[in-house]
Amino acid sequence: MVLTIEEPHLQPLAGLHVRDIVWLAAVIRKVKPMATLVVPLDAKEWFQRFCKQMGIISFEDEPSPSPSHQVILTICPDKEASKLRRISRDLRSLFDEAIKSPIISPREKRIRREFRKTMTVFEGAMFGYPECCVEFHAKESPSSRARVYEEFLESGMDQSIPIEFWAVAHAPCSSICQETRRLGREYLHTVAELSESLRNHVVSRLLLPRFYQTGGGRFIDLQPLDYEQHQGEVAISKEQFERDAQSRLPEPMEIVLCEVPRPFVLVDGPEEPPYKTLFPNPEMIGTMWLAYTPGLGAYMVNAKTGQLALYIASTQWIPKVGEEWRSKANFRIYRSR
Ligand SMILES: [Zn+2]
């Protein structure tokens, strides 16, 4: 059960994703040097006032993925830190512009790789990530997170992941990274320092099972619902959904009726029917039917309206994004303790 925030002046925080609340507290208490948060548009003004009261600065420094729902804000303690962030962002975009030419020599290829690594290390330090995890991420490319979830699966820990792993912002270097756990504990402690009821709210949300799509940290929290109990409220029956899902996904397939609160980052954009691949997207909030074939794909519709929320299959998706994103850890539900 998700617990509510008792203090009236902190209640607007409930509109944020729970991980954003954790990072906000960690930056306020100076345990984390910088964070990038996704703030719903209707909470933006309140949020910026709140940051000011708490003695930190917030600024918009990258285009939001879906301007109609939310804004991406970076928070940090002072102007010096924000200057650093702006420099790194400018460097990245200059670099992205410079590498548009597709024909390159092996030497240039190496220089580009080294530059990317250096930027990753620099940004990792700027956001206060553990060195072990930054190094691993720089070496393994952005899909490094999937390797850690594979470890969780292999060790049988996928249904009892330490809660600290959900509190941190970075991709951990391993499923037993002690630095990640230490940092997660510290972050959660800063939430309790702000308010005990805020901490209870945060922990109750972090303990929700989460459906995980890919190595880029794409997952959504969900509260499984008992079908017998909620049968009368849904327009799509279990039998109907099962039939629909079977025609789209291979076996062995799992099915769950669930309530999905606001996901981590909402993205919307052009899709290619019959697929709807953007994840998470605004259609995902509410009572949902979710079907997934571990490692291979997912199909999700709104149980009350029948609207498609997600349809993605590795066969169609991997050729587009590259083999490094293929992982048996994709398209599964993980739980914490
Ligand atoms: Zn680590």
Ligand 1 centroid to residue 179 C-alpha, Å: 6
Ligand 1 centroid to residue 203 C-alpha, Å: 22
Q: How many CA atoms are closer than 13 Å to the CA of 256, on its beta-carbon side?
A: 18
The region of weakest confidence among 59-68, 74-83, 175-184, 243-252 is: 59-68
Ligand 1 centroid to residue 147 C-alpha, Å: 13
Ligand 1 centroid to residue 57 C-alpha, Å: 28
How much is the pLDDT for 264? 63
Distance of CA 18 to the CA centre of its chain: 11
Answer for the pair 144, 215: CB distance below 8 angstroms, yes or no. yes
Ligand 1 centroid to residue 278 C-alpha, Å: 29
User: pLDDT by residue (tens digit) across 104-131?
Assistant: 788 888 888 888 899 999 999 999 999 9
How much is the pLDDT for 303? 97
pLDDT at 325 > cutoff 80: yes
Residue 168: phi and psi, rounded to 5, are -90, 165
- Averaged over 230-249, what is the pLDDT? 96
Ligand 1 centroid to residue 134 C-alpha, Å: 7
pLDDT band for position 263 (50/70/90)?
Answer: low
If DSSP states are collapsed to H, E and C, what string results for 3-66?
A: CCCCCHHHHHHHHCCHHHHHHHHHHHCCCCCCEEEEEEHHHHHHHHHHHHHCCCEEEECCCCCC
Give the amino acid at 299.
Y
- Averaged over 209-238, what is the pLDDT? 89
Percent of the chain whose predicted confidence (pLDDT) is above 90: 64
The dihedral over CA atoms of 305, 42, 38, 30, expressed in degrees to the nearest 10, equals -140
The region of weakest confidence among 61-70, 125-134, 215-224, 251-260 is: 61-70
Tokens 């945060």, residue?
202
Pairwise CA distance, residues 95 & 270, whole Å: 26
What residue segments make up the domains of the chain, in order of their start? 8-207, 213-334
How much is the pLDDT for 97? 85
Ligand 1 centroid to residue 120 C-alpha, Å: 14
Residue 214 exposed, middle or buried by CB count within 10 Å (0-12, 13-18, 19+): buried
Tokens 């849904």, residue?
234
Ligand 1 centroid to residue 251 C-alpha, Å: 35
Which residues does residue 289 pair with via DSSP β-bridges, in sequence order?
257, 301
Residue-averaged pLDDT of the chain: 90
Distance of CA 284 to the CA centre of its chain: 14
User: pLDDT by residue (tens digit) across 272-313?
Assistant: 888 888 877 888 889 999 999 999 999 999 999 999 999 999
Q: How many CA atoms are closer than 13 Å to the CA of 132, on its beta-carbon side?
A: 12
Higher pLDDT, 146 or 253: 253
How much is the pLDDT for 216? 65
